[in-house]
Amino acid sequence: FLARLGYRPKVFEAEQRPGGMLIQTIPAYRLPREIVAREIRMIERMGVDIETGKRLGRDFTLSELRRQGYETVFVSVGSPEGVRLDIAGSDANGVTDAISFLKNYNFKGSVPVGQKVVVIGGGNAAIDAARTAVRLGARNVTIVYRRTMEDMPAFLEEIEDALNEGITIKALTNPDEIITADGKAVGVKCHSMKPGKFDKTGRRRPEKDGRTFVVDADQVIFAVGQTLDSSSLFDHDELQPISGYRIMTDSMTGQTSIPWLFCGGDAASGPSSVIHAVANGECAAVGMDEYLTGENHAFWRIQQMVNTAFDVNADPVSYPRVKMPVLPVERRRDNFNEIELSWVEAEAIRQAQRCLRCDYGKTVIAERS
C-alpha cells in the first residue's frame, strides 16, 4: 500500500525466505506456495526492497533505524511462539507445539511424526497440525478439545475436512497430564467435560463431569495459543508490549504510543487470520502516510464504478448455492496439493446470477405501523 502511494519501503524479514507466517505455519494444501511467491514478486516489482535474515533486536534496533534516516516504522512480527499447557509431562520427548511442528516441516521439508498423534486444541492451528500429521504418515490422529465441537474456533469447513480425512475429534475432553515412559510421551490422561453456564464469550463454560480416561499417543502437539516474547526485540527505552504480550495500537491507524512507530497483525491484535493482518497493514499504510504528510491519500478507498452489465429487473433464480469442489480424500494422503478446486465457467456464471439477487428467498420482517 505504501508503494502504491509512491514510497519505496524496505522490509526486513527474520527468516531466509520472504513470506513470514504465510509459509511458516499455513500448510500448502490451504495456501499453495506458488501463489505466495507470485504475490511477493509482484510486491518487489512495485519498488519494495526485501532483506531476509534480518531480525529485530539481533541485527538492528528501532533506534538504529531512526538514526539511519527511516522516518516511520511498521512492526509486524506476529505471535510466532507456540504455547504449552502447564501440565505434567508437557516437556517430555515427543511433545511439541503446533507452531514449531508446522514451521519445521514448512521450512525444512521434514519433521518427526508419530503413529498415534494427539493434538490438543480446537482452532485452525490444531486442525492444520492434525491434517499435516495425516499427510506425513500418522496412522491415528486425535484432536482433544475441552468444549463442544460446535464451539471450536476453527473454520467449519476445516473441521469437516479433518473428519473426512479420518481425524478423530474428542470434544468435551480436557487433558490432565502427559503420560510418559522413560521420558517419552506414551499417552494423554484426560477427563470428560460437560457444558456449564454461559461465559463472557457467549459459550457454555466447560465443567468436569468426573470421568477420566487415557488416549494413547507417541506424539502430542499443543495448539492452545500463540504468543510474542518481546524481551529480545526491543531496547529498554523502546516500545514494550503492554496488556500481556500485545503491542497496543490505535485500531484505525496502527499507531503506537511512539508517534513514528506503527504496528499491526498478531503482534497488535492477538492471533487472527491472514486477511485481518493484511487489513491492519492497509490501515497502517494510510496512517503512516498521514503522519508524514498530514493528508489522507488512500485513493483506493474511493468507491469505483464497475462497468459490468446487470439487469436489476431480471427474474431471481431459485437454485441453491453450490459447494466449492474439493480434491477427493483418497488423493490427499502423502501430498500437500491444494484441497479447494474451482468451478467450471458455466457454474461460476450460474452462482453469480444467484448471488446478484441475494435478496431472493430471504425472510423480511417489517415493523407494524
- The model's pTM: 0.88
Provide the pLDDT for residue 233. 81
Provide the pLDDT for residue 368. 41
Q: Provide CB contacts within 8 A for 80, sequence distance 6+.
A: 21, 24, 99, 226, 228
Average pLDDT value for residue range 317-325: 86
pLDDT exceeds cutoff 90 at 240: no
Q: Provide CB contacts within 8 A for 264, sequence distance 6+.
A: 74, 75, 76, 249, 254, 277, 280, 281, 283, 284
What are the pLDDT digits (tens) for 141-182? 999 999 999 999 999 999 999 999 999 999 999 999 999 999
Average pLDDT value for residue range 102-111: 92
Provide the pLDDT for residue 259. 93
Closest listed residue to residue 153, CA positions, set 222, 201, 105:
201
